[in-house]
Amino acid sequence: MSQKRHHDGHRERLRERLRKDSASMRDYEVLELLLGYVIRRGDTKPLAKDLLGRFKNMRGCLDALPAELEQVKGFGPSCADFWLLLREVLAQYAESEAREREVLDSFEALEKMARARLAGRDREEAWVALVNAQNRVIYWGRLSQGSVSSVQVLPRDVLEAGLKHRATGIFLVHNHPGGGPYASRADLEITGRIAGLARELGMGLLDHVIVTDAGCHSVYAGAQPES
């Protein structure tokens, strides 16, 4: 009972600091509180510190794959479910501007949306962002899911989405889980095919963006094909 009261008192003190000045909290303390919503009994500080020790920082902890997280002692299936929910909240938060038809007028705006959705994924996925003539996002959605090292992108699926939503511009996005930023030859070939077909239909492929754990990289900006 005394141990339980000690943990309860410690968490309440952290909550008081959160309410008073959340910016003053250290990263492991934030993780402690988060984990406390799943692990209701017991001290979550050791697990928080173990996660940071393995994944280096908060971004690393949030971007870590479920299989990697579950290798940390004490991080069980309930924590994994909570982490997936947290990641989805962050992804939908980053996508909210797109859902409200905000202007996608910079690479940074696209990067923010793409990284929130695809960074840290354990399989390749292909997504498409469609814009109108004013560069306002009218659609952002997944085209397909693949394996650890590849994903199939059919030009027909991209173009059908563009025609359905009456888009004038297309941003193609896919990720390289744990891989480098360079486009593969297949990436370059599909980019060229879609760009040519889109032009014939009165649309433009504005960019093809590759998402990695380190950031986003534009195929149009000169990513070289992997050998």
pLDDT tens per residue across span 168-199 = 999 999 999 877 888 889 999 999 999 999 99
Better-predicted residue by pLDDT, 53 or 182: 53
Check residue 223 and give its pLDDT: 44
Check residue 227 and give its pLDDT: 42
pTM given for the model: 0.66
Check residue 1 and give its pLDDT: 43
pLDDT tens per residue across span 116-145 = 889 888 899 999 999 999 999 999 999 999
Check residue 159 and give its pLDDT: 97
Tokens 């934030």 sit at which residue?
Answer: 30
Read off the pLDDT of each residue in 155-165 and give the average, rounded to a whole number: 96
Distance, CA of 192 to CA of 156 (rounded, Å): 14
Residues whose CB is less than 8 angstroms from the CB of residue 4 and which lie 6 or more positions away in sequence, other chains included: 41
Q: Evaluate whether 117 touches 139 at the Cβ level (below 8 Å).
A: no
Q: 101-218 has which fold? A: Cytidine Deaminase; domain 2 (3.40.140)
Q: Is residue 95 pLDDT above 80, yes or no?
A: no
Q: 107 falls in which pLDDT band (50, 70, 90)?
A: confident
Residue 55 CB: number of other CB atoms within 10 A?
A: 17
Tokens 């390289």 sit at which residue?
Answer: 176
Residues whose CB is less than 8 angstroms from the CB of residue 23 and which lie 6 or more positions away in sequence, other chains included: none
Check residue 7 and give its pLDDT: 65
pLDDT tens per residue across span 36-47 = 999 988 899 999
HEC profile of 199-221: HHCCCEEEEEEEECCCCEEECCC
Check residue 171 and give its pLDDT: 96
CA distances from 113 to 141, 200, 209, 221 (A): 11, 28, 11, 19
Better-predicted residue by pLDDT, 2 or 63: 63
DSSP state, residue 149: S
Q: For residue 131, which of 95, 105, 93 has the smallest C-alpha distance?
A: 105
Sheet holding 204-211, edge to edge: 137-145, 125-131, 169-175, 204-211, 216-218
Distance, CA of 123 to CA of 215 (rounded, Å): 16
Percent of the chain with pLDDT over 90: 58
Distance, CA of 124 to CA of 24 (rounded, Å): 37
For the chain, give every domain's residue range. Answer: 2-90, 101-218
Check residue 112 and give its pLDDT: 86
Rounded to the nearest integer, the mean pLDDT of the chain is 88
Better-predicted residue by pLDDT, 63 or 195: 195
